[in-house]
């Protein structure tokens, strides 16, 4: 049986309607799903898993920025090195907290708006705490560094010291306390939090040099299809929360909490 042209068009429309509906429904479903952003799992008070949930100062900042731009994201906790690797592969849209250098800027997309700034210090045992005014003095010294962390191009380019990689800052300080390394590099706030929580470390160390004071960022993937859009929404949200005071309120809340998680 042959169809007239109008009837043929009707049949074609019916044949196309169902798959087109399924495609559009699938796209809408994907758009409604939150995008996955990696959060470091053990870097308190900035980002860590505590009491079964991801929390910290930068967690609050990231959530507030995306909420301000009306963007739905889901945080995924993992060790920092793995987090950055997953972003590099495009498995996650972004990861925080990153102190960018030339290599990071090449491999990842970086937003215009930083999360915060913080001091990276060189720590020694208190009884051995002599100021280190020139990082060149670290030649042949054993320095514990946390896997995957960036410490600034000056420190990261030093060639003659013995880097001793550790999984967590805590491991590095324990090695320092047992004289298995000569120094440990760590951020001021995270180190002081560790000292508060670990009686064996209290009063045992002192900073002997400021290695770097970086701005920390959310690093976005160059291989995830939604990364550029999410980066723009993040920058938009950060500008909004800086302008209306929410950003400063988060900083103040964490500062006044003495490192303890403030009420949400």
Overall pTM surpassing 0.85 (yes/no): no
Same domain, 66 and 174: no
Instruction: Round to whole Å and give the CA distance between 95 and 35.
Output: 12
Same domain, 54 and 162: no
Instruction: Residue 212: name the closest of 122, 125, 141, 142 by CA.
Output: 122
In terms of residue numbers, what domain contains 87?
Answer: 33-116+215-256
Same domain, 126 and 196: yes
Q: Tell me the two tokens of residue 36.
A: 């996955």
Same domain, 178 and 97: no
Same domain, 106 and 231: yes
CATH number for the domain spanning 161: value is: 3.40.190.10
Same domain, 206 and 219: no
The count of domains in the chain is 2
Same domain, 175 and 230: no
Same domain, 129 and 206: yes
- What was the pLDDT predicted at 76? 97
Residue 6, domain member (yes or no): no
Instruction: Round to whole Å and give the CA distance between 257 and 263.
Output: 9
- What was the pLDDT predicted at 256? 74
32 pLDDT band, cuts 50/70/90, is low
- CB–CB of 184/123 below 8 Å? yes
Same domain, 71 and 83: yes
Instruction: Residue 38: name the closest of 86, 109, 108 by CA.
Output: 86
Indicate whether 27 pLDDT > 80: no
Region 178-200 average pLDDT: 96
Same domain, 179 and 160: yes
DSSP 240: H
H or E stretch including 142? Answer: strand 142-146
154-171 per-position pLDDT tens digit: 999 999 999 999 999 999
Same domain, 68 and 128: no
Residue indicated by tokens 């009063």: 203
Instruction: Round to whole Å and give the CA distance between 229 and 235.
Output: 10
Helix (H, G, I), strand (E, B) or coil at 118: coil
85-109 per-position pLDDT tens digit: 999 999 999 999 999 999 999 999 9
Indicate whether 12 pLDDT > 90: no
Same domain, 83 and 144: no
Q: Tell me the two tokens of residue 112.
A: 């215009």
């Amino acid at each position: 049986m042959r169809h007239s042209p109008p009837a043929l068009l009707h049949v074609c429309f019916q044949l196309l309607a169902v798959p087109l509906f399924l495609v559009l429904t699938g796209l809408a479903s994907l758009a409604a799903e939150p995008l996955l952003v990696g959060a470091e799992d053990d870097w308190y008070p900035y980002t860590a898993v505590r009491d079964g949930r991801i929390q910290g100062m930068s967690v609050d900042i990231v959530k507030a920025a995306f909420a301000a731009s009306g963007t739905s994201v889901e945080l995924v906790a993992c060790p920092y090195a793995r987090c950055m690797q997953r972003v590099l592969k495009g498995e996650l849209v972004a990861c925080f907290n990153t102190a960018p250098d030339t290599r990071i800027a090449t491999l990842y997309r970086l937003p215009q708006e930083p999360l915060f700034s913080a001091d990276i210090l060189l720590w020694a045992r208190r009884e051995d705490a002599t100021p280190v005014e020139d990082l060149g003095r670290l030649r042949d010294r054993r320095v514990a560094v946390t896997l995957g962390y960036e410490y600034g191009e000056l420190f990261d380019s030093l060639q003659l010291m013995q880097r001793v990689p550790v999984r967590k800052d805590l491991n590095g300080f324990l090695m320092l306390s047992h004289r298995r390394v000569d120094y440990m590099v760590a951020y001021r706030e995270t180190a002081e939090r560790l000292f508060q929580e670990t009686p064996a470390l209290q009063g045992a160390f002192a900073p002997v040099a400021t290695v770097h004071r970086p701005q920390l960022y959310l690093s976005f993937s160059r291989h995830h299809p939604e990364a550029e859009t999410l980066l723009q929404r993040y920058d938009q949200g950060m500008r909004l929360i800086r302008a209306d005071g929410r950003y400063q309120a988060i900083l103040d809340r964490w500062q006044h909490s003495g490192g303890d998680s403030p009420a949400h």
